Each structure stands twice: as C-alpha cells, then as structure tokens.
C-alpha cells in the first residue's frame, strides 16, 4: 500500500513514472549528450530479443515476476525495456536491460525453480505460476492472446469469490489495537523487531518439522512467496502514513523489510490477501491448498501471539531518547 488507510499511492511517484515512460529514457542513465550532436554515426542495433506487448519474466532484486513490456528502446548502445509488473501498481514500472528478462515459457519457469533462485519465480501473488494465471485487461489481442488463453489446467476459477479464510478474533482485536496505537495515539512499533518476519517463518517451519517430521514443498513455496510479497507490498500498502518516515530511515536496498518488521505488519498482509488475489485465477485445488496454508499460519500466529506481537508501542520521541 490524513486518512489512516494503509495502501495509498503517491501521485508524485506515478507522475514521475509516467514521465519516464513517455520520454523513453532511464533516469539512471547519463542523457546529457544529444545523439544528433555525436560526431560519428551510431552503429546499427541488433535485433531486440523482446517486443512491445510481450509477456516476460522480469527480475526485481531476488525475485522473478510476470511482467509485460510496454516500451522497447535502443539506449546507449543497448536495448532497454520498460516493463509493467502484472498485478502491481504502475508506480513499480521500470526500465530493465535484457539481462534481467526471460522469455515467459514453462521451461524458464522450471529452470528457475531448479536453479533455486532465492525467492523463486513469482507472478503477482502467485507462487505456482504454472497454475495461477493473473488477469490483465490490456493483454494484446491476436496470436499472442490466443497463445495466452491456452491453459492445460482444468477447473481454473477466479479467486475473488472463493478465497475465504477468517482471521481469529484475538488477532482481529490485535489489528484494531494496532490501528489505534498508530493512527490515534501516534505511537509506532519499535524497529527492528525480534522476532522479525523471517524468524517467524523459520519458527513455523521448525514447528511443522517437529510435528510431522518434514515440511512439504508446497509449504516452503507458500512461505517464500509470502516473504517475497511482504517485502514488495509493505511500502505500498501495509504502512500507515505516519510510519513511512520510520520505514525510510530503517529499510535500505541491502535490508529486506522481512528482516526488520515483525508479526504486526505481517498480520496486515493477511488482511490484504483476499483483495490482492482478485487478480489471480487458479485451480480449485491450488486455491484450497493456499487457503489452508493461510489458515494454518494464522493459527500459528495466534498460538504464539504473546511472543510474536509487541505489547507496547512507543512514541517517536521516546524511541529517540533510547537511541
């Protein structure tokens, strides 16, 4: 993700992205030189490996996401691609080099899984890309649309009317208290949290291993997806306005939100999941499996509520004195 709604987007960010898109230039690149003023002609570019409107796998940090190429430009002697991550706000649109893109094929998806990419191949809120198909109203028509519509999975259903899991009453009260502390009393969770989200997921795996002797691949996949999605969603929709400065001061490029924030913000993600999964189509079997995993993780949070959640929120001035 004034008003306490966690999930506002910054119109300034959107306007900047729009300007970058329309100009066709990467703001990180040196554009002081006018190509028309160069003394020598530029060499003819080779053919681009990707085209406008093509669906690809785009790498952002440690994750591969389903994306759509909006613009193709030849910049500074190399091809650059302006991509939109399917299911994400356009503020995440960005320029990518060819080294960050893969053809959207089952072979590439499986290859990334086999290579053990740190966060796996993800679509927007889809941990099993081969089974979950994000919907986009702007998919190009014609041959590509026909190819995209081919689905070997049967009984693929929209998740918007079927995802149905309940947050336990004790955790609902936790959410209410959390909102009041931050938006009314102007107090925050002191960071970094211990245990953080990464720690909580590790403890969850340990508890499942102790109980069943092992953890299934699907559980590990869901946890990896949750972690990846938490890291991307937190600055966009999981923060209240008066928490943003704290986020900017605490989280850097080399520090993941899941290593800083804890159960309080993780619980906020679960509130958003049904809304976010509206963008995904999946099989009934996958939907039920995902839903059961969510319920079990929430049960684990409830069981360890006194350990995972803070009992005291602090004013910014109070935290500064302690530092």
Strand partners, 63: 60
Distance CA 232, CA 224 (A): 13
Q: Could you tell me if 72 and 48 are in contact, meaning their C-beta atoms sit under 8 angstroms apart?
A: yes
pTM over 0.75: no
CA nearest to 175, candidates 308, 264, 114: 264
Mean pLDDT per 10-residue interval, the chain, length 323 residues:
44 40 41 43 70 90 81 90 85 90 86 49 37 36 37 40 79 95 95 97 95 85 88 91 93 91 97 76 76 94 97 88 69
* Contact in structure between 153 and 288 (CB atoms under 8 Å): no
Hey, what are 51's tokens?
A: 């085209």
* pLDDT given for residue 136 in this prediction: 38
CA distance 70 to 51: 9
**Which residues have CB under 8 Å from 68's CB, separation 6+?**
53, 54, 55, 56, 83, 84, 86, 136, 138, 139
Residue 126 tokens read as 């889809």
The first and second tokens of residue 52, run together, are: 């406008």
Contact 103, 257 (CB under 8 A): no
Contact 306, 235 (CB under 8 A): no
What SS3 state is found at 92?
helix
């Amino acid at each position: 993700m004034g008003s306490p709604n966690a999930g506002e987007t910054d119109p300034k960010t959107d306007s900047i992205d729009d300007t970058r898109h329309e100009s066709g230039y990467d703001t990180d690149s040196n554009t002081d030189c006018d190509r028309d003023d160069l003394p020598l002609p530029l060499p003819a570019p080779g053919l681009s490996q990707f085209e406008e409107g093509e669906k690809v796998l785009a790498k952002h940090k440690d994750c591969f996401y389903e994306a759509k190429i909006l613009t193709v430009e030849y910049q500074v002697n190399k091809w650059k691609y302006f991509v939109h991550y399917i299911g994400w706000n356009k503020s995440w649109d960005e320029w990518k080099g060819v080294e960050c893109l893969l053809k959207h094929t089952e072979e590439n998806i499986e290859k990334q899984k086999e290579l053990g990419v740190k966060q796996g191949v993800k679509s927007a809120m889809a941990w099993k890309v081969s089974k979950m198909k994000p919907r986009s109203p702007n998919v190009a028509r014609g041959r590509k649309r026909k190819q995209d519509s081919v689905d070997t999975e049967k009984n693929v259903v929209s998740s918007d009317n079927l995802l149905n899991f309940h947050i336990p009453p004790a955790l609902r009260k936790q959410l209410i208290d959390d909102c009041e502390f931050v938006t009314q009393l102007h107090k925050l969770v002191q960071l970094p949290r211990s245990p953080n989200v990464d720690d909580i997921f590790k403890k969850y795996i340990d508890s499942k291993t102790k109980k069943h002797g092992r953890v299934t691949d699907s559980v590990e996949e869901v946890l990896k997806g949750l972690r990846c999605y938490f890291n991307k969603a937190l600055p966009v929709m999981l923060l209240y306005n008066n928490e943003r400065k704290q986020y900017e001061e605490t989280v850097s490029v080399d520090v993941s939100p899941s290593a800083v924030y804890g159960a309080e913000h993780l619980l906020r993600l679960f509130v958003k999941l049904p809304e976010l999964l509206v963008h995904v189509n999946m099989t009934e079997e996958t939907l039920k499996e995902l839903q059961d995993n969510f319920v079990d993780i929430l049960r684990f949070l409830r069981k360890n509520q006194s350990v995972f959640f803070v009992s005291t929120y602090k004013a910014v001035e109070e935290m500064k004195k302690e530092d």
